[in-house]
Structure 1
Amino acid sequence: MLVIKLIFSVSAYEHLDFLILHHVFCLLVCLLFELKERLSRLEAVLAGNKDAGNQELSQLISELQAKLEDANAETLSEREKAKKLAMENEKLKYRIAHLVQAVKVADQKLECMRGQN
């Protein structure tokens, strides 16, 4: 039984890593939407104003676009990490199921041997 508890605790840590990555991914998506909204507002202001502040707004828009591209790249990276962790988690679940079955079979054999004595 100790083996089973140990295996499940390892699986729990893998699941926790996946949840953390999922949370980070969700935060990045929220940041992405916020940056898109800011960019839209700045573009609207830029289109309405043609004064000396336009250059500053253009620079700010460029910076936001760069941040948006970085956030997109990071989101894709986190999505790939989450996908890999999910696949690894499925593999571990499969291994655990087979190990649990092997332990049950071994326990049954042990009980049979004890019953014969």
Structure 2
Amino acid sequence: MATGLSSWPPDFSEGVRKSLLVLMTDPDAQVRQSACRTVAEGKDRDPVFADAMAVLLDDADRRVRVIAMHGLARHDDERCVEGERRLPPAPPGTPHEYDLDEVWRYERRRDGR
């Protein structure tokens, strides 16, 4: 998992950056979620990270998709809005997905509200 970084928000060395990009394609959804969350909360705004998160907008795992939208919104990337539009309704009983609130905050920033 992408945990244990020594600073928060983390500064990524080149090795960490490469590892995160690999972890974002891991077969395990929990690993993809963790890597995506780390990228979302990090200081590094390299477009390669936004592109990697955008790929996850089509992930089979809903939670991965939601965290990717959260990350894109934190990176001020418009693709988070389209990702939210394409997200099917949450199954009954799903708790509120607070990570999606970041998309709303992004739209407010974008629109100057």
TM-score (norm 2): 0.24
TM-score, length-scaled by structure 1: 0.24
Higher relative contact order (CA 8 A, sep 6+): 1
Larger Rg: 1
Q: Identify the structure with the greater helix proportion.
A: 1
